[in-house]
Amino acid sequence: MKKNKKLLIRILVAFAVFLVGIVLYKLTPLKSFGEVAEKWSFGDYRFYLFILPFLAAYLIVGYDVILKAGRNLLSGRLLDENFLMVVATFGAIALLDLPEACGVMLFYQVGELFQRYAVGKSRRSIAALMDIRPDIARVLRDGKEVVISPEEVEIGDVLILRAGERVPVDSVVLEGKGSFDTSSLTGESLPRDVRAGEEVLSGSINIWGEVKLRACKKYDDSTVRKILDLVQNAAAKKAKAENFITKFARYYTPVVVIAALLIGVIPPIFLKDWGGWIKKALTFLVVSCPCALVISVPLSFFGGIGGASKRGILVKGGGALERLAKANVFVFDKTGTITKGSFSVVDVFPAERAKEILTAAAIAEGASNHPIARSVVEFAPAVERDGYEVEEIAGRGVKAVKKGGVILVGNAAFLKEQGIPFEEAQNPFTTLYVAENGAYLGRVMVSDVPKENAAEVIRGLKAEGCRTIMLTGDREATAKAVAAEVGVDECVADLLPQDKAAWVETLLSKETKDGAVCFVGDGINDAPVLAMADVGVSMGGIGSDAAIEASDVVLMQDDLASIKEGRRIAKKTMRIVRENVVVALGIKVGVMLLTALGLMGAFAMWLAVFADVGVAMLAIINAMRTLR
Amino acid sequence: MKRVYELTDLCCAACAAEIERDINKVSGVASCNVNFIMQKMTVEYEEGANYGSVLKAVTKTVRRVEPDCDVVEVK
């Protein structure tokens, strides 16, 4: 920040010299500065005595602006801020209104300084939010601890992580216990206790304890790198509002400059008072600077994206944020999004034989990795499985055989094929039928249950006037049961992955321009739908690259509430963007009107400077609210 | 080929927008994005473009708009 300090010193020195000039001038009995020239001619030393302090102050504070303006003149860029300021102040000098020229330049530079300071500060606070990059990795090499950069870590390296350090690459805990703060990744504020065998994500911080880790991924493939890439490239995808404002600024400045020329030339032909009208024209030139407008919009979006990422919501650009704010149709995938994506046993029938049924089922399913099988084993009491030969029959079930015993567990079709008489159940759950030694024992009903807050989130969205739809590949009965439980407006079942894409496409073609369709999925198998929707939201963190590529918003936490939170941030950001545009334009237009009508009085040019840099400052401060 | 540069002393948002617009017109540049807030510029070069000479043209364009601006590649 050396440059800012230099400017500050120049401003202070120039201000002191400026005050000297004012004091000298006040010692005279003159009513206006113009009389200085009338009273003393160019040959008189007293004329220079009054002029010099102002000229000196003007040059001290504004020489760099003049230099830049000169260079712009040479390259034909006449609508640059520096050039406009120089023309305006030179004009005031030519009218021999030196205190005004000097004061305006001073005020302009003070504004620039504040603006730079504010931008720098907001840049740092946004950057701090995204500061999840690990700096070092401690690796055990030949039994010795070596400090290397995270990029140099190889898969399989043993890492040491002390309290307060960041995990350099995605790893598994080998030994030790620790408590990990993942808030900068997921927004989850509660630390997570981690022990041997568990995975830890790069970028999370070990709060206490020392752990040994084994690196599972290279730095470039690790979570932290993917998040950084995503957030840093976010600004590349600009919002419509951003493009609009840069385009608007391109026309705004020339139009105001032309207006200034007209005001400086046409009215004085009829009304005389050349000096007065030229001064009004110069004021217009100061107001024509576009910076306040141009800076306010992207900074707001950037702040919104930063604020969202702090809460574990990664938004890919202003455009995505803009569409999320507009979204009024929310389409959810069922499994893994509305529901937990893991099965649990909801019922065993008949209940009085539950223990017997579950024991048999657990013996048969014990070796399987299928999610349904795992849920049964977890629910059942611990069983002795030795001696059983297990055979899996795809799409049917399992058969476990031991000398003197056969257990069959599977769907209705399976038991029918095996010729076992049983009663088929009528319910929305996935049902496993269990038979032992040729006799039907009973059935186990498993279901994928909705997430705890699913109903609450859906209710919240509906309360805000959004339409909610659930898509699933499951059977109608299963889907209906979940839909009723969480309260979505519509539910479409029996869809293949490609059907989902087609369904969303039809929905998109029917939607009006004012709204947007948001698709929320877990990123597994639904990348095409994520890409197609106006806003594709993938849940549950940095999963597959395809899902990240295809989605506009990635939720680091597997929590539906993040959608509402993301929508709230998006709406707030858009509100701030609108406020900034309206206020900046309003003040500028207001100053122009007042100037043209001659209502601004002696402070016209000063107020015009405020309309430029002051408004930029206001916009920056307002934009920073997006971070909160 | 994509490269990221830091633009030091980029002090005006309107200038950043102008730099972006002008660099997008430089031949050999597929796309350019200037992030005023992070003071970063991302330039994507066209396949087979002469990197050295295109970078020179890019730097020149930046300087024309912001004479004090340095273009430093970020690794």
Contact A235 B9 (CB under 8 A): no
Catalytic residue check, A333: yes
**Which residue ranges make up each domain of chain A?**
2-126+239-298+577-627, 137-225, 340-450
For residues A224-231, give the mean pLDDT. 78
Q: Which CATH class is domain A137-225?
A: mainly beta
Q: Work out the minimum CA distance from A395 to partner chain B, whole angstroms.
A: 48
Rounded mean pLDDT of chain A?
84
> Rounded to two decimals, what is the model's pTM?
0.80
Contacts of B69 in chain A (CB under 8 A): none
- Tell me the percentage of chain A whose pLDDT exceeds 70: 95
pLDDT per residue as tens digits for the range A255-300: 988 998 898 888 888 887 777 888 888 888 888 888 777 888 888 8
Confidence band for A236, pLDDT divided at 50, 70 and 90 = low
pLDDT per residue as tens digits for the range B15-50: 888 888 899 999 889 988 888 877 888 888 988 888
Maximum separation of any 2 CA atoms in chain A, in Å = 127
For residues A294-313, give the mean pLDDT. 85
Write the residue in A119, A236, A289 that is nearest to B33 by C-beta.
A236
Q: Residue A559: its pLDDT value, please?
A: 86
pLDDT per residue as tens digits for the range A148-161: 988 889 998 999 99
Contacts of A290 in chain B (CB under 8 A): 14
Contacts of A527 (CB under 8 A, 6+ apart): A544, A546, A547, A549, A550
> Would an 8 Å CB–CB cutoff place B24 in contact with chain A?
no
Q: Which CATH class is domain A340-450?
A: alpha beta
Which residues constitute the domain of residue B24? 2-74
Contact A127 B38 (CB under 8 A): yes
Contact A298 B14 (CB under 8 A): no
Confidence band for A512, pLDDT divided at 50, 70 and 90 = low
Name residues 219-278 of chain A within 8 A of B (Cβ). Answer: 232-233, 235-236, 246, 249
Q: Which of A80, A170, A333, A474 is catalytic?
A: A333
CATH number for B63: 3.30.70.100
Q: Work out the minimum CA distance from A79 to partner chain B, whole angstroms.
A: 11
pLDDT per residue as tens digits for the range A368-382: 777 788 888 888 888
Burial classification of residue A458, based on how many CB atoms lie within 10 Å of its CB (0-12 exposed, 13-18 middle, 19 or more buried): buried
Could you give the CA distance from residue A624 to residue B6 in angstroms, rounded to a whole number? 23
> Would an 8 Å CB–CB cutoff place B48 in contact with chain A?
no
Find the range with the poorest average confidence among A6-15, B1-10, B20-29.
B1-10
Confidence band for A458, pLDDT divided at 50, 70 and 90 = very high
Q: Do the Cβ atoms of A274 and A268 come closer than 8 Å?
A: yes
Q: Residue B38: its pLDDT value, please?
A: 76
> Would an 8 Å CB–CB cutoff place A592 in contact with chain B?
no
Confidence band for A520, pLDDT divided at 50, 70 and 90 = very high
* HSE value, Cβ hemisphere, 13 Å, CA-based, for A491: 23
Domain count, chain B: 1
pLDDT at A235 over 80: no
pLDDT at A34 over 90: no
Q: Which residue has the higher pLDDT, A434 or A75?
A: A434
pLDDT per residue as tens digits for the range A413-433: 888 888 888 888 777 788 889
pLDDT at A603 over 70: no
Contacts of B41 in chain A (CB under 8 A): none
Q: Work out the minimum CA distance from B57 to partner chain A, whole angstroms.
A: 15
For residues A193-205, give the mean pLDDT. 86
| SS3 state of residue A555 | strand
Could you give the CA distance from residue A376 to residue A365 in angstroms, rounded to a whole number? 8
For residues A521-539, give the mean pLDDT. 85
Contact A81 B14 (CB under 8 A): yes
Confidence band for A462, pLDDT divided at 50, 70 and 90 = very high
Q: Which residue has the higher pLDDT, A14 or A48?
A: A14
- A-B contacts at Cβ under 8 angstroms: 56
Q: Work out the minimum CA distance from A304 to partner chain B, whole angstroms.
A: 13
pLDDT per residue as tens digits for the range A200-221: 888 888 888 888 999 998 988 8
Contact A233 B13 (CB under 8 A): no
Could you give the CA distance from residue A305 to residue A573 in angstroms, rounded to a whole number? 9
Q: Do the Cβ atoms of A570 and A324 come closer than 8 Å?
A: yes
